[in-house]
């Protein structure tokens, strides 16, 4: 009898663990939504409502998309719309939706050695940083932020690679901001991470407002036809929640300690 009860106990533990694993989905995402605190703010509401646990893996956007392509995640939440749409076209992802947006900004040392404050075009600000050989820290990590940065250097007619004033961090946004702070350098950042961190930095916001700095975030599910093991049904539940009235309201209510809204919901 005792042996029978022990066997039943082990079976219950095994079934419980298997059930728990079935209720966990992997979300590959960009470091900006993780570093800003957005996901830790909104996901508990989804988990409580559905019983589905979301495991977040924060990488640069490029790396997050590659994880999804390999089937190492169930869905991705990133910010490089052209890359996202191309990956959907190639059949790696389905059910892509806009979720929210903010913008990119340029931050740097308070004395603004390149004197970019007041410029109207981001490409002009980048050109002035290059001409004055002012230190610039690049994420250099295949993130959406890095892709935007490369586009701005191209528009400025500058190739910064190999220049002694151009530092490649190969890190996420939070660490890149810390390095820029240590080096008294300029960097491109999303506004959400900046607002979440600026109280711990000596940097200042020096350039904003160019329409080219619009920063759209989107979510999409890994195509189960490509990877049959992915938890597509649960991934769709999270996607539908993110674009629902409840999810959008929570995203819109997320603010920093000074009351600044970090992300603006815009799901259709």
- The residue among 195, 188, 152 whose CA lies nearest residue 168 is 188
pTM here is 0.84
| CATH, range 2-102+216-265 | 3.40.190.10
Q: Domain limits of the chain? A: 2-102+216-265, 104-213
| CATH, range 104-213 | 3.40.190.10
In order along its 268 residues, the chain shows pLDDT tens digits of 545 444 444 443 343 444 345 699 999 999 888 888 999 999 999 999 999 999 999 998 999 999 999 999 999 999 999 999 999 999 999 999 999 999 999 999 999 999 999 999 999 999 999 999 999 999 998 889 999 999 999 999 999 999 999 999 999 899 999 999 999 999 999 998 999 899 999 999 999 999 999 999 999 999 999 999 999 999 999 999 999 999 999 999 999 888 989 999 999 8
């Amino acid at each position: 009898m005792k042996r029978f009860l022990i066997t039943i106990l082990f079976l219950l533990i095994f079934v419980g663990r298997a059930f728990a694993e079935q209720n966990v989905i992997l979300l590959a995402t960009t470091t900006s939504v993780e570093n800003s605190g957005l996901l830790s703010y909104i996901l508990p509401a989804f988990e409580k409502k559905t019983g589905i646990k979301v495991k977040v893996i924060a990488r640069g956007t490029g790396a997050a998309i590659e994880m999804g392509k390999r089937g190492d995640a169930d869905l991705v939440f990133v910010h490089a719309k052209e890359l996202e749409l191309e990956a959907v076209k190639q059949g790696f992802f389905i059910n892509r939706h806009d979720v929210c947006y903010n913008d990119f900004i340029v931050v740097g040392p308070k004395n603004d050695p390149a004197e970019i404050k007041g410029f109207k075009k981001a490409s002009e600000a980048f050109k002035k940083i290059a001409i004055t050989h002012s230190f610039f820290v690049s994420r250099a990590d295949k993130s959406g932020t890095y892709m935007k940065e490369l586009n701005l250097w191209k528009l400025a007619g500058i190739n910064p690679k190999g220049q002694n004033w151009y530092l490649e961090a190969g890190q996420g946004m939070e660490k890149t901001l810390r390095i820029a702070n240590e080096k008294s350098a300029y960097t491109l950042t999303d506004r959400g991470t900046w607002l979440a961190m600026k109280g711990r930095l000596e940097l200042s916001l020096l350039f904003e407002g160019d329409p080219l700095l619009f920063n759209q975030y989107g979510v999409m599910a890994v195509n189960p036809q490509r990877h049959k093991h992915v938890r597509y049904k649960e991934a769709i539940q999270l996607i539908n929640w993110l674009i629902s009235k409840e999810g959008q309201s929570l995203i819109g209510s997320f603010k920093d300690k000074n009351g600044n809204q970090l992300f603006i919901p815009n799901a259709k």
